Structure 1
Amino acid sequence: MKEKSLSIGLDFGKKYALVSYCTSDMSEPDTISTVAGSELYQIPLSLCKRRGIGQWYYGKEAETVMKNGEGSGCDRLFGRALAGEQVTVEGETYDTVELLSLFVRKILTVPQKFGTSMKLARITITMDTLNREKMELIEKIAGRMKWTKEQYHVIDYAESFYYYALSQKEELWLHDAVLFDYSKNSMRFYYMERNLNSTPQLVHIYLKDYGPLIGNKDTAFLDVVTDAVSRKIYSSVYLTGDSFDGEWMRESLKFLCNGRHVFLGKNLYAKGACYASCIHTGMQPWQFVYIGENEMKVNISLKVKDREELIFHTLVSAGENWYEAKNQCEILLAGTNTVDFWLQLPDSREAKIESLELTDIPKRPERMTRLSVMTEALSDSAVKVTIRDLGFGEIYKSSEKVWEYKMEL
């Protein structure tokens, strides 16, 4: 039997996780439900060890075991792991990073129950916002799960919306799409803008926080949506978040449905992350580049000669998440003591050349100096460049010289 390729989208919230998956023979992602045949997608971020037998349970089952006094464990695992907490379960002390990794391992076995011979191609993890601490936590989990760098990716909710919206039929995003996220007692509005004059199309997602809905929610939301979508035609409106529960939307929903497609659901971010996995593994074609607050805003390349042909070797790609933007290559220096970096905006044909001088580099014959060039993003608009003299084999030993530069983009 041929092994299927499995793509995963994992949404880490404060109290819950959601998992969407897609195999190479599926036309679109599906989301794991906690109750078969239902749309109960939220899996509590809980883990519990049953007393006496040492068996671990996760999600709703873990909460039930703890509630019945049949075991002990903890909830809100992501936040606890992020804070570096340790917990005591059945008399043993556990690192919550280890417990969160166990939780991930357990929920990722669920898609494989629906079919055999599946190999993880890529998992994309999404959360409301990104920072260095969250990225480091995911790196720890990836290490415990033995994922390679090519097997996992981390994005925020805005980027998940980008992948989800633009993976739908063209009629649903022809005039762009918007998202209202009503959770944490705050109404957040994400709106999309595409640059139709660039190839591939550059896409921006902008966020406006309207805060809590005061007084009558339907009336307050009607004021919000009137302000948000009246200035431009949008093809689709998406609604997500626990606070949309209940049938309180009447006049506001009537207004939104006037000439627009409107969708309500809780698994948009998980599905968007799964679409991202499919796209980055080549399962789905893509004609867009996302430029968000976490993404690099410029392409950085070296102009090099490869087998007598001049080519541009890319070190940093516009649209690449800056938390993950690290690259390294080796080059031979050709009759100069400078290295030229070509900086180009993704929607421009013109490039800026930034020359970095290698002060006091040993004099050697042309192409007899091998250099290591390493780039590491410091933010979405700054890159640290480290250049090391590697010498040239046994002929010229390395001088051990290192040059470091900060390149502001």
Structure 2
Amino acid sequence: MIYGFDFTDNICYISSYDGDETKELPACPCPIEIEERMAFINDYRKDTQDAAVITVETLTKELVDAVEKEKNLTFLSKEEAFVEYVLQNEKGVWQRNTAVFEFHKGSFCFYAAGRRGKTIMTEKEDIMLPEKGLNSAREKDKFFTKWVAEKLNHRQISTVYLIGEEFEGEWMELSLASVCHGRRVFMGNHLFSTGAMLWKAKPLEKKDKVMTGDYHPYYWGIRAFHQGKKDVFVPIIQPGSLWFHTEGRIDVLMDECEELEIEGMHSISRQEMKLTMPLGLRQEHPTRTSKYRITMRCTGTKGMVAAVYDIGFGASRKGTGLIYQEEFKLP
């Protein structure tokens, strides 16, 4: 048996596959803490041979490490579960984008996925609910109508999924007409759990790379004299790794360098970024060549840190260590 688990607040949605049939099982209450959820899953599985895939908002190194010792347990981001569900259930969906609105008592979230060249890109946005809450059907309808217009208008989205218990009831009036205009709309609560289960049970041989928000999308590097050529882009980081596995470094020779410019480019949109690091080497080490180490790493899906270290120049001069460090955010 293979299970997909989607934990949302204190509710768990579960899908299963026994080798012949896919089932959406009744939702059930569940604990909040990750350790208690792991125990819940182990109790739910009849046999440790049963595989379980657990959806999470964002993958972290701690989560990946936590299941290394657990037999047949895997974490998968909701974005990747969403893509898997769509690929296996909507054969013609990639002619246009697909979107999900996820609405629970304490949260509202928007997802979208579509092809950019040979890459399937996803986006995710957590949207703040009003401080005073949504206390009537009219308030819910007005709130949802606003976000349907903001997220779907002027975009080629052909299919929309409405996920979550807050979509239940007959409160949608203006919003229903808006979301259904020229689109197919489906309601249900098991999209993420079924996508996670399918990811394990019926893995597709994907011709396209899936790039969710957990993967770093940028090239990073500097322009330098390299292998006899001027103004060569020397990479520090390549795109495509999970954010917590994304890091890189290069060693360079510099003298009298007042500032260092690190260039970044998004691998899909080609959006450019530049980070200027003031080093002041002319004043610190005039007319002296030294070796410097440039390091970069991700601190989160949207956070990075870059640093420059003076590592000296052979036996003639010892390095002084860290010269400059800067943390910055990605768009």
TM range (shorter): 0.5 to 0.7
Alpha carbons of 1:285 and 1:375: their partners in 2 closer, same or farther (altered >3 Å)?
Answer: same
* Structure 2 SS opposite 1:285: coil
C-alpha distance in 2 between matches for 1:272 and 1:38: 12
2:164 to 234, 241, 245: 241
2:90 aligns with 169
1:343 aligns with 264
The question of whether the paired residues in 1 share the 8 Å contact of 2:159 and 2:185 is answered with yes
C-alpha distance in 1 between matches for 2:273 and 2:143: 45
C-alpha distance in 2 between matches for 1:147 and 1:237: 38
Aligned: 1:377 with 2:307: no
2:252 to 333, 336, 357: 333
The residue type equivalent to 2:235 in the other structure is H
Per-residue CA distance 1:326-368 (angstroms, 9 max, x = gap): 5143x332344655522224423766463553745799877xx
1:12 aligns with 7
C-alpha distance in 1 between matches for 2:165 and 2:27: 10
Alpha carbons of 1:204 and 1:374: their partners in 2 closer, same or farther (altered >3 Å)?
Answer: closer
1:40 to 21, 25, 29: 25
The residue type equivalent to 1:332 in the other structure is D
1:284 to 206, 210, 216: 206
2:188 to 260, 265, 288: 265
The question of whether the paired residues in 2 share the 8 Å contact of 1:9 and 1:19 is answered with yes
Aligned: 1:301 with 2:205: no
* Structure 1 SS opposite 2:95: coil
2:50 to 83, 101, 113: 113
C-alpha distance in 1 between matches for 2:3 and 2:92: 26
The question of whether the paired residues in 2 share the 8 Å contact of 1:192 and 1:204 is answered with yes
C-alpha distance in 2 between matches for 1:227 and 1:341: 37
Per-residue CA distance 1:178-232 (angstroms, 9 max, x = gap): 323342177x463638686x77465544565586472489xx7599469836845
The two structures, once aligned, show a CA RMSD in angstroms of 5.5
Aligned: 1:192 with 2:112: yes
Query: C-alpha displacement at 1:259, in angstroms?
Result: 5.0
C-alpha distance in 2 between matches for 1:404 and 1:7: 50
The question of whether the paired residues in 1 share the 8 Å contact of 2:97 and 2:112 is answered with yes
The residue type equivalent to 2:105 in the other structure is K
The question of whether the paired residues in 2 share the 8 Å contact of 1:371 and 1:391 is answered with no
* Structure 2 SS opposite 1:333: strand
Alpha carbons of 1:231 and 1:275: their partners in 2 closer, same or farther (altered >3 Å)?
Answer: same
1:315 to 222, 237, 240: 237
C-alpha distance in 2 between matches for 1:305 and 1:146: 43
The residue type equivalent to 1:334 in the other structure is L
Aligned: 1:126 with 2:63: no
The residue type equivalent to 2:25 in the other structure is L
C-alpha distance in 1 between matches for 2:90 and 2:173: 27
C-alpha distance in 2 between matches for 1:307 and 1:14: 55
C-alpha distance in 2 between matches for 1:365 and 1:341: 20
Aligned: 1:399 with 2:329: no
TM-score norm. by structure 1 comes to: 0.52
C-alpha distance in 2 between matches for 1:276 and 1:102: 22
The question of whether the paired residues in 1 share the 8 Å contact of 2:313 and 2:319 is answered with no
The residue type equivalent to 1:113 in the other structure is D
Identity level (%): 16
Which one has a larger percent strand, Structure 1 or Structure 2?
A: 2
1:146 aligns with 68
Query: C-alpha displacement at 1:238, in angstroms?
Result: 1.0
The question of whether the paired residues in 1 share the 8 Å contact of 2:224 and 2:234 is answered with yes
2:279 to 357, 364, 368: 357
TM-score norm. by structure 2 comes to: 0.62
Alpha carbons of 1:297 and 1:358: their partners in 2 closer, same or farther (altered >3 Å)?
Answer: farther
C-alpha distance in 2 between matches for 1:362 and 1:18: 65
